[in-house]
């Protein structure tokens, strides 16, 4: 068996085409373009690359992009003040705080300064609760993109055994909550899990989000399982031993070209939704 690839590039292109059409319609009806404000703290090279990609994609679909670059020395209170101002700014529809922030900044306090109605990256406690309870709201962009991929390929989630490797508040945990809301039986694995391999071997769906290159070995994968690699490590290497896993899985995401494009597509789709929601309440 050689797994079929979960093509995030193709699905993201379809999503962004639909977003572009929606942005055009919104612009005509509202008399303005949707606006996404991106806040970047510090000089981390990878973060600058990610922000540049998001800004470029925004512009391609017609979304106005407002970029705020803050110095590495920015304090928590200074960052919160910037996010508070964006939250009440009537010309801004969505807010993205690029993470990680510098170690001295309280990232959770910064996330919570974002108005949930503008939380298009799905990082606030409100968004997490909505995901956990299956209520309408903004999903964390990467887990939301993963769910869109699974849906596009008709992966049967209800009743499936799903293993999420990683428990970060913006990836692993919300991914597990979304799977649970879709009626999967979810197991979280993390640094204190005694036998990750054994947990993975019984999984119908595996979400790898641990941040360690090729941590998930191909031999762990159950025959016919669906494997989603949400990791990205130096050298275009994911968290899954790709070639070996592909020989056992039925569906698998490539790295790059799988989860990454869907993250940006989900972010921009939710920015359009945020703009549309705001016009309904004005």
pLDDT, tens only, 134-192: 899 999 999 999 999 999 999 999 999 999 999 999 999 999 999 999 999 999 999 99
Report the C-alpha gap between 238 and 115 in whole angstroms.
Answer: 33
All structural domains of the chain with their residue ranges: 31-115, 141-260
pLDDT at 187: 98
Helix (H) or strand (E) holding 27: helix 8-30
CATH, domain range 31-115: 3.40.50.10860
Are the beta carbons of 186 and 180 closer than 8 angstroms? yes
Q: Is 234 exposed, middle or buried (0-12, 13-18, 19+ CB in 10 A)?
A: exposed
Helix (H) or strand (E) holding 252: strand 251-252
β strands within 32-183, DSSP E: 35-41, 64-70, 94-97, 161-165
pLDDT at 192: 95
pLDDT at 224: 98
Cβ atoms within 10 Å, residue 110: 22
Report the C-alpha gap between 205 and 166 in whole angstroms.
Answer: 14
Report the C-alpha gap between 46 and 142 in whole angstroms.
Answer: 17
Residues with a catalytic annotation lie at 54, 98, 121
In sequence order, which ranges of 113-215 are alpha helices (DSSP H)? 125-132, 141-152, 172-181, 196-201
Bridge-based pairing of strands 205-208 and 185-189 is unpaired
The residues with which 216 forms a beta bridge, in sequence order, are: 240
Q: pLDDT by residue (tens digit) across 233-280? A: 989 999 999 999 999 999 999 999 999 999 999 999 999 999 999 887
What tokens appear for 125 in the block? 């406690």
Helix (H) or strand (E) holding 227: strand 226-229
Q: pLDDT by residue (tens digit) across 184-229? A: 999 999 999 999 999 999 999 999 999 999 999 999 999 999 999 9
SS3 98: coil
pLDDT at 280: 78
| CATH class of the region 141-260 | alpha beta
Q: How confident is the model at residue 282 (pLDDT cuts 50, 70, 90)?
A: low
């Amino acid at each position: 068996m050689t797994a079929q690839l979960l093509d995030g590039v193709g699905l993201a292109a379809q999503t962004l085409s639909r977003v572009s059409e929606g942005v055009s319609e919104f612009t005509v009806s509202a008399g303005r373009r949707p606006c996404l404000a991106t806040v970047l703290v510090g000089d981390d090279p990878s973060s600058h690359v990610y922000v540049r990609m998001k800004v470029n994609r925004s512009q391609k679909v017609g979304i106005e992009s407002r970029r705020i670059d803050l110095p590495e020395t920015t304090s928590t209170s200074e960052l919160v003040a910037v996010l508070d101002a964006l939250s009440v700014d009537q010309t801004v529809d969505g807010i993205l705080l690029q993470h990680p922030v510098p170690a001295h900044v309280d990232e959770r306090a910064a996330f919570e300064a974002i108005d949930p109605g503008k939380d298009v990256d799905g990082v606030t406690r409100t968004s997490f609760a909505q995901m956990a309870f299956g209520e309408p709201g903004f999903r964390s962009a990467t887990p939301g993109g993963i769910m869109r991929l699974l849906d596009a390929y008709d992966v049967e989630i209800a009743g499936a055994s799903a293993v999420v490797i990683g428990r970060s508040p913006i990836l692993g945990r919300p991914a597990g909550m979304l799977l649970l809301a879709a009626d999967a039986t979810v197991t979280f694995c993390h640094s204190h899990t005694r036998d990750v391999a054994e947990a993975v071997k019984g999984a119908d769906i595996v979400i790898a989000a641990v941040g360690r290159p090729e941590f998930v070995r191909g031999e762990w994968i159950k025959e016919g399982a669906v494997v989603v690699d949400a990791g990205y490590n130096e050298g275009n290497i994911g968290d899954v031993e790709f070639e070996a896993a592909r020989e056992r899985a039925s569906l698998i995401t490539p790295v790059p070209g799988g989860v990454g494009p869907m993250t940006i597509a989900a972010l921009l789709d939710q920015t359009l939704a945020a703009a549309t929601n705001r016009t309904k309440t004005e």
